[in-house]
Amino acid sequence: MDKNIINVTDQNFKAEVLESDLPVLVDFWAPWCAPCRMIAPVVEQLANEFSGKLKVAKLNTDENFETATKYGIMSIPTLAIFVGGEVVDGVVGAVPKQVLNDKIKSILSKFASKFN
């Protein structure tokens, strides 16, 4: 896995995502999910491009059922953007990189004052 992506679990989700000083893109995924594997390289590219401005995390829904259930994850991949412990945007499915890129840029500009 890319050095700019962290693995989150039910145990560390609060500390790594909800209490993060940066916005966090969480990729809810599972190893058997073909669309999850399709979007993984895009998530890695975004993690590198937004390094230092956005934290990128992956949560395996098979191993971390509690968190996936709490956030109502019904389909994977689901990519959710958290700011200040709240989901502020996201997408379901393997979407084009530009869709995620635009959402991230919008969130970063909208919440810029919160993180400076």
Catalytic residues: 33, 36
Q: Cα separation of 30 and 63, whole Å?
A: 8
Q: What's the N-to-C CA distance of the chain in angstroms?
A: 29
Tokens, residue 68: 């996936």
